[in-house]
Amino acid sequence: MATTLRRLGCCIQVWVLLSAAVASAEVVQIGNIMTRPETYHLKDVQLQGVATHIQALPPTFMSKFGTMCYGAYTFTLGDETGSIVVEVPSMCGRSQEAVTIIAEDQKVSVAVRIEAPGYYTGSGIAPPGEVKSTTRAIALREPIVQDR
């Protein structure tokens, strides 16, 4: 009986994990985020659209690791419901040549964390951060180019 309960518990845990993975892969329309950003605050969502206004950012030095970090950039992602600026953080420990930046007018899919306006951001040490006036989308991974 105990073995059966353990197996059942394990199956339920696997089902919950798979359900969460499938739910997180659902594409959210940008217009929904821009209309009610507080609903998505600090939530991880999947976005798809066309990338425009790509702007590479300068490399930064990460003193903690003693290395340069390359590849940070921003772009505007637009779908049929709206647009949002996506911030792609730099990657430390890779050469600048190893960083791939998407091209203008490419259709991309990207997992992002949404930060609603008005909330404090920062690393939790003084100063506590700043108040943002716009909705932010921070890429969790590099954007994936989609076939048109």
Q: What is the pLDDT of residues 18-41, one digit of tens each?
A: 444 444 469 999 999 999 999 999
pLDDT digits (tens, 9 = 90+) for 5-16: 455 455 445 444
Predicted structure pTM score: 0.74
Other CB atoms closer than 10 Å to residue 104's CB: what's the count? 10
* Integer CA distances (angstroms), 132 to 71, 102, 106, 119, 135, in order: 23, 26, 28, 7, 8
Band of residue 122 on the pLDDT scale cut at 50, 70, 90: low
List the chain domain ranges.
27-145
Spatial separation of the C-alpha atoms in residues 104 and 86, rounded to whole Å: 14
Spatial separation of the C-alpha atoms in residues 83 and 109, rounded to whole Å: 13
Judged against a pLDDT cut of 70, whether residue 121 lies above it is answered with no
Spatial separation of the C-alpha atoms in residues 72 and 54, rounded to whole Å: 11
Judged against a pLDDT cut of 70, whether residue 128 lies above it is answered with no
Please give the CATH topology (third level) of the domain spanning 27-145: OB fold (Dihydrolipoamide Acetyltransferase, E2P) (2.40.50)
- Do residues 99 and 73 make contact, with C-beta atoms less than 8 angstroms apart? no
Looking at residue 45, its pLDDT comes to 97
